[in-house]
Amino acid sequence: MKSPVFEISITGSFYTLLLPIAIIKPFLDKNIKRVKAKASFQGKELSFHGAFQKRNDNYYMMFGKRYQKELGIFPNDYFQLQFFEDDSKYGVDVPEEFEAVMYSDYEAHQVFETLTDGRKRGLIYAIARYKNSQTRIDKTLLLCENLKRGVRDPREMLKSF
């Protein structure tokens, strides 16, 4: 499932997109609130995962400063956006290092799977932000140890004790 390509600009606060109901209604009708998105502006493209968030009678999506900077978008610029059904397991791209380490540690993986979907995504994002492959491996190993120790505070999960 995918939406047509449509034009949009950043509204209100500098990090949100006011979504047209006509575009997202087919997703909402199927109870799909997390999607993959493809944004393009002046020949640059960016893919990301996002969620439709309802406030009052409108739907919004976060479009962070990092995405704006990557595409070279300013608040008054119009850019193209398209949504796709997100068929990923966690609703986010999982670094291969994270997957390899997590699946090699059965006990930690079992504990990880008991976390809420949002907590899982947050931890995956935290690991993915490291540019160096070895750092992603080291941080995932640390996460596995902390999960097995019973650490559940997200601020503590990537710290060594």
Same domain (yes/no): 108, 128: yes
The pairing of strands 6-11 and 53-55 is unpaired
116-152: pLDDT as tens digits: 999 999 999 999 999 999 999 999 999 999 999 999 8
Assessment of whether the complete model's pTM goes beyond 0.85: no
Task: Give CA–CA dist 85/103, Å, rounded.
Answer: 26
Low-confidence ranges of the chain (pLDDT < 70): 13-14
Same domain (yes/no): 101, 53: no
State the pLDDT at residue 13: 67
Q: For residue 156, tell me if it sits in a domain.
A: no
Backbone angles phi, psi at 158, to 5 degrees: -110, 15
Q: For residue 90, tell me if it sits in a domain.
A: no
State the pLDDT at residue 6: 96
How many residues are present in the chain?
A: 161
Contacting residues for 99 by C-beta, under 8 A, at least 6 apart: none
Task: Give CA–CA dist 141/144, Å, rounded.
Answer: 5
**Does residue 149 sit in helix, strand or coil?**
helix
Same domain (yes/no): 40, 74: yes
State the pLDDT at residue 106: 96
